[in-house]
A and B are shown apart, each in its own frame.
Chain A
């Protein structure tokens, strides 16, 4: 079946540090992969996505590359800011299962000045 495994948190980084949040997936078909972000008190916001192997999604300095060979979609940012403090969710959707989303557990990131 479909599932997403995400790096456990919480993660605490200093401002301008490099961020990696690991995400791996299992899927029966050819899923689309996503990173969502949830800021305190807000909903899940789409951060970036990739729909096929070797695609790179990017937004707001964040990047993730769809790696079929390693079934991974790790989130990276070269220099984090305090405003990046949030919970990050990796997810996949699969047209074979009606586009329902399968989420990881979420990784809480705190960036300190």
Chain B
């Protein structure tokens, strides 16, 4: 069964450094999403992406965040200058154009900012 994959599974970085989290959505999906979950808190929406542009973003998704689909398979989340409070689990998701209300999630990347 096709699945969303994410790399790395765990990323440790120093405060102020840039990180790129990578996702490979399901191949025929056209809608892509990033969510995050700070330890002990809810999974929160960050951004949705369709047709090579951001379609929705939350107030969390400020200027330090960016997303990109650099080729036909990858979908990346970049955090330019990480802060301690960016430490969280980051989930990528994708959805089928015929069933956009259902999203398929990857296993997550645990980001630790020191």
Binding site for B on A (CB under 8 A): 32, 34, 36, 41-46, 49, 51, 89, 91, 93, 95, 97-106
Cβ of B73 < 8 Å from any Cβ of A?
A: no
Stretch at the interface among B13-21, B62-70, B94-102: B94-102
Cβ of B82 < 8 Å from any Cβ of A?
A: no
State which size class the interface on B falls in: 20 to 34
Binding site for A on B (CB under 8 A): 3-4, 6, 31, 33, 35, 41-45, 48, 55-56, 58, 91, 93, 95, 100-108
With known contacts A98-B55, A100-B56, A89–B43 Cβ distance under 8 A:
yes
By the criterion CB–CB under 8 Å, are A46 and B43 in contact? no
| B56, chain A: closest CB distance, angstroms | 4
Instruction: Identify which of B41, B48, B105, B108 gathers the most chain A CB atoms within 10 Å of its CB.
Output: B105
Contacts of B103 in A (CB 8 A): 93, 99, 101
Contacts of B35 in A (CB 8 A): 101, 103
By the criterion CB–CB under 8 Å, are B95 and A99 in contact? yes
By the criterion CB–CB under 8 Å, are B42 and A103 in contact? yes
Contacts of A34 in B (CB 8 A): 102
Contacts of A46 in B (CB 8 A): 102, 104
- Among candidates A32, A42, A102, A105, residue contacting B45 with C-beta atoms closer than 8 Å: A102
Contacts of A91 in B (CB 8 A): 43
Complex Cα gap A106–B42 (Å): 7
Complex Cα gap A95–B55 (Å): 13
By the criterion CB–CB under 8 Å, are A99 and B105 in contact? no
Contacts of A32 in B (CB 8 A): 101-102
Complex Cα gap A95–B6 (Å): 26
- Among candidates B3, B105, B107, residue contacting A36 with C-beta atoms closer than 8 Å: B105
Contacts of B33 in A (CB 8 A): 100-101
Instruction: Identify which of B6, B33, B44, B107 gathers the most chain A CB atoms within 10 Å of its CB.
Output: B107
Contacts of A51 in B (CB 8 A): 101
With known contacts A99-B31, A101-B35, A44–B41 Cβ distance under 8 A:
no
Q: Which 10 A-B pairs have the closest CB atoms?
A: A43-B107, A44-B105, A98-B56, A103-B43, A100-B45, A32-B101, A43-B105, A43-B106, A93-B101, A99-B100
